[in-house]
């Protein structure tokens, strides 16, 4: 688990990095075809999805993949400005030094649930608004992508839309 101090430090540096438009990591940023997320971003979502949806999502990779696909579709529908801001955030989270600094996580595939929870909780209540906003974006994208899918509805008793004929 990360200590509170690490977060404060990371937040400060992270704030600067995000605020500067992420110029310094730009060179290493992966690109992906329009409407798709780079592999490193998909890996990040694949890691945080089971944590954000703990208690709702069944174990197994199938639903996680479908949530990540849903995130990809949702991002493609956002404004160009929001997509480019998210691109910066995803770029940072896919770039090892920035990720380590901001989240304490080295490799998404090796991160434990506790580590991911700690980073999400740290951002959620962070004193820097940028970090809180970044948490909110991850929160909305993952939850929205899951609860948009009929397979999630049975877990909450939602019968789905009625038939209109």
Note the residues at the interface with other proteins (CB under 8 A). Answer: 51-56, 70, 73-74, 76-83, 117, 120, 124-125, 129, 132-133, 136, 139-140, 142-144, 146-149, 152-153, 155-158, 161-162, 164
- Minimal distance, residue 97 CB to other proteins, in Å: 26
CB-neighbour burial class of residue 65 (10 A; exposed 0-12, middle 13-18, buried 19+): middle
Q: How long is the chain?
A: 165
Tell me the closest approach of the beta carbon of residue 140 to other proteins, in angstroms: 4
In the complex with other proteins, the residue whose CB is nearer, 31 or 79, is: 79
Give CA separation, 140 vs 10, 107, 134, in Å. Answer: 23, 23, 10
Burial per residue of 117-155, b for 16 or more beta-carbon CB atoms within 10 angstroms, e otherwise: ebbbebbeebebebbeebbebbeebbbebbbeeeebeee
User: Shortest gap between Cβ of 134 and other proteins (angstroms)?
Assistant: 9
26 versus 97: smaller Cβ distance to other proteins: 26
In this complex, which beta carbon is closest to other proteins, that of residue 16 or of residue 136? 136
Q: Which is nearer to other proteins, 102 or 145 (CB)?
A: 145
């Amino acid at each position: 688990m990360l200590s509170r101090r690490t977060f404060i430090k990371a937040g400060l540096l992270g704030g600067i990095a995000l605020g500067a438009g992420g110029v310094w990591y730009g060179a290493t940023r992966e690109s992906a075809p329009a409407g798709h997320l780079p592999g490193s971003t998909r890996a990040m979502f694949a890691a945080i999805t089971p944590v954000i949806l703990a208690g709702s999502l069944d174990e197994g990779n199938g639903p996680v993949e479908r949530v990540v696909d849903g995130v990809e579709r949702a991002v493609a529908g956002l404004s160009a400005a929001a997509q480019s801001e998210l691109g910066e955030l995803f770029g940072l989270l896919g770039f090892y030094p920035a990720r380590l600094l901001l989240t304490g996580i080295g490799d998404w595939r090796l991160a434990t649930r506790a580590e991911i929870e700690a980073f999400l909780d740290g951002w959620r209540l962070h004193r820097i608004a940028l970090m809180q906003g970044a948490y909110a974006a991850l929160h909305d994208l993952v939850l929205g992508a899951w609860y948009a899918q009929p397979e999630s509805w049975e877990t909450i008793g939602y019968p789905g839309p009625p038939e209109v004929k």
